[in-house]
């Protein structure tokens, strides 16, 4: 999302979405996850005409009005009533801003400590505590039905829309129709989400005027895409319709259902622990992927920073060092992966886990972040990815976003050349070494 303050104020190129019908663990659907395509519209050029009759995307052979007529038979075959299609689609105008939003991107790579500090704020902590009390009956009911911890759910609500106080301003149906018309690269996805929105309207759950959200289609308290609304939504307040707007009951319950059914959220468990590593710990073990029982991690020299024992040493966990060996270390449990099914960014999931703990009454992380390390800017990050790719290490792309695949690739290269610590943390010093081969 995009063009707002807080988590809703950035271009979320790490957010991924599932079109209709996710797999059981919610992490993939036809090659994408839940939020990839919130920001997936391909740029079609700055010189697009804006008039309804004359507007023509560089990737479409039709004007917008022509495309609406061409798409109509396909929508009717999918079960959209003619009256619904005609009533909604023939009054639309293309929202050409979606292509501008898609081309926007930050000029620097944001380090994880800045990402966290901008999202786990005192306001969100204090407001989250108020919301847990104010909506205690709703959270109680959701915990009984779905088993999703109220603090995890409340933190996700705070991250997605600042508890419903910061919402998007685009007309979703207009935006989706424009993307379905003009974005040839992901047209199939946008068409499906447009059809999903028309089904929602046809069921009487919402109207085009009410469906206000992001330029890529996410809406409401917990930023549902139409597919999530349609397939994961719950009429939890019993008013006869499902809505991510207004009272938060439906939105929170539907999101809890999503975490359970697509993320395999586990009742009664936390997201993970901040841990400390013994001196000389092998950084290559902290790849964020290798799964071991907590008891085995403890035997390797991993302990909680608080000194407390691990309450469930048989639980499986992954060891992660998102800021390298000079920053905090974490054991990530299955519920961190469940949160990542909603947004597969480790930064995002860790922020929700940490915000949840703070709302619950816990403190800040105890280990300092390496704030004195100079982070790579976007151009440098892309160079690092390009060099690693040329050497045969899979970074998952060269977009400048330092995600898990880039960290794993960098860690593998560091191990291969004997660079210590092999922690996958991209700094200017690492890039200098990489340039030298």
pLDDT per residue over 125-184, tens digit each?
999 999 999 999 999 999 999 999 999 999 999 999 999 998 878 999 999 999 999 988
Mean pLDDT across 320-326? 93
Structural contact between residues 122 and 95, judged by C-beta atoms closer than 8 angstroms: no
Give the pLDDT score at 108.
53
Measured at the alpha carbon of residue 425, what is the angle toward residues 421 and 428, in degrees to the nearest 5?
A: 100
Centroid of chain to Cα 247: 23
What is the DSSP track for 251-314? HHHHHHHHHHHTT---TT--SEEEEEE-TT--GGG-EEEEEEEHHHHHHTTEEETT-PPPS-TT
Question: What rounded mean pLDDT belongs to the chain?
Answer: 86
Q: Tell me which of 266 and 40 has the higher pLDDT.
A: 266
Instruction: Place 57 in a pLDDT band, splitting at 50, 70 and 90.
Output: low
Q: Tell me which of 186 and 6 has the higher pLDDT.
A: 186
pLDDT per residue over 207-228, tens digit each?
999 999 999 999 999 999 999 9
Mean pLDDT across 53-65? 66
- CA distance between the termini of the chain: 38
Give the pLDDT score at 404.
82
pLDDT per residue over 254-296, tens digit each?
999 999 999 999 999 999 999 999 999 999 899 899 999 999 9
Decide if pLDDT at 92 tops 80: yes
Give the pTM: 0.83
Give the pLDDT score at 81.
97
Structural contact between residues 384 and 404, judged by C-beta atoms closer than 8 angstroms: no
Give the pLDDT score at 103.
66
Give the pLDDT score at 11.
28
Give the pLDDT score at 168.
76
What whole-number distance in Å separates Cα of residue 224 and Cα of residue 218? 5
Sequence-ordered list of residues with C-beta below 8 angstroms from that of 86, at least 6 positions apart, any chain: 72
Percent of the chain surpassing pLDDT 70? 84
Structural contact between residues 224 and 244, judged by C-beta atoms closer than 8 angstroms: yes
Give the pLDDT score at 23.
29
The highest-confidence range among 93-107, 134-148, 396-410, by mean pLDDT, is 134-148
Q: What burial class does residue 378 get, using C-beta atoms within 10 Å of its C-beta: 0-12 exposed, 13-18 middle, 19+ buried? A: middle
Give the pLDDT score at 34.
45
What whole-number distance in Å separates Cα of residue 362 and Cα of residue 305? 13
Sequence-ordered list of residues with C-beta below 8 angstroms from that of 80, at least 6 positions apart, any chain: 195, 198, 199, 202
Give the pLDDT score at 101.
79
Q: Tell me which of 207 and 375 has the higher pLDDT.
A: 207
Sequence-ordered list of residues with C-beta below 8 angstroms from that of 99, at least 6 positions apart, any chain: 41, 43, 44, 45, 48, 182
Longest dimension (CA), the chain: 69
Mean pLDDT across 20-26? 30
Mean pLDDT across 9-29? 31
Decide if pLDDT at 76 tops 80: yes
Give the pLDDT score at 376.
87
Sequence-ordered list of residues with C-beta below 8 angstroms from that of 361, at least 6 positions apart, any chain: none
Give the pLDDT score at 29.
30
3-class secondary-structure state, position 316: strand
Phi, psi of 290, deg, nearest 5 = -65, 125
Instruction: Place 377 in a pLDDT band, splitting at 50, 70 and 90.
Output: confident
Give the pLDDT score at 427.
87
Give the pLDDT score at 27.
31
**Comparing 116-125, 328-337, 410-419, which segment has the lowest mean pLDDT?**
410-419
Give the pLDDT score at 61.
84
Q: Does domain 272-360 have CATH number 1.20.1250.20?
A: no
Q: Where are the domains of the chain?
A: 272-360, 378-435
Give the pLDDT score at 334.
97
């Amino acid at each position: 999302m995009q063009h707002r303050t807080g988590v809703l104020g950035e271009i979320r190129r790490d957010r991924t979405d599932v079109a209709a019908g996710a797999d059981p663990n919610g992490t993939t659907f036809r090659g994408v996850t839940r939020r990839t395509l919130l920001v997936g519209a391909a740029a079609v050029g700055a010189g697009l005409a804006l008039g309804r009759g004359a507007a023509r995307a560089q990737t479409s052979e039709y004007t917008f009005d022509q495309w609406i007529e061409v798409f109509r038979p396909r929508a009717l075959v999918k079960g959209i009533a003619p009256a619904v299609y005609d009533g909604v689609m023939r009054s639309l105008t293309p929202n050409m801003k979606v292509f501008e939003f898609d081309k926007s991107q930050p000029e620097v790579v944001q380090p994880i400590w800045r990402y966290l500090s901008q999202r786990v704020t005192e306001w969100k902590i204090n407001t989250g505590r108020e919301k847990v009390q104010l909506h205690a009956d709703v959270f109680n009911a959701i915990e009984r039905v779905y088993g999703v911890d109220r603090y995890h759910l409340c933190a996700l609500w705070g991250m997605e829309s600042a508890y419903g106080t910061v919402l998007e301003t685009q007309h979703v149906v207009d935006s989706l129709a424009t993307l379905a018309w003009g974005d040839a690269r992901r047209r199939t996805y946008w068409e499906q989400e447009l059809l999903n929105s028309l089904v929602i309207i046809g069921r009487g759950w919402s109207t085009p005027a009410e469906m206000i959200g992001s330029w890529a289609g996410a809406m409401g308290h917990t930023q549902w895409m139409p597919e999530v609304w349609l397939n994961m939504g719950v009429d939890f307040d019993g008013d006869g319709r499902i809505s991510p707007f207004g009272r938060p009951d439906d939105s929170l319950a539907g999101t809890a259902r999503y975490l359970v059914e697509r993320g395999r959220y586990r009742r009664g468990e936390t997201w993970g622990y901040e841990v400390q590593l013994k001196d000389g710990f092998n950084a290559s073990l902290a790849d964020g992927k290798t799964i071991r029982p907590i008891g085995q991690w403890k035997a390797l020299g991993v302990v909680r920073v608080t000194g407390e024992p691990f309450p469930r040493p048989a639980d499986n966990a992954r060891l992660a060092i998102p800021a390298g060996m000079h920053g905090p270390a974490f054991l990530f449990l299955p519920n961190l992966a469940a949160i990542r099914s909603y947004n597969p960014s480790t930064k995002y999931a860790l922020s929700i886990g940490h915000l949840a703990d703070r709302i619950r009454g816990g403190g800040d992380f105890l280990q300092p972040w390496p704030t004195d390390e100079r982070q790579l800017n976007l151009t440098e990050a892309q160079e690092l990815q390009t060099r690693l790719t040329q050497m045969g290490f899979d970074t998952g792309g060269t977009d400048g976003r330092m995600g898990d695949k880039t960290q794993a690739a960098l860690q593998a290269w560091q191990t291969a050349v004997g660079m210590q610590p092999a922690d996958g943390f991209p700094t200017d010093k690492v890039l200098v070494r990489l340039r030298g081969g």
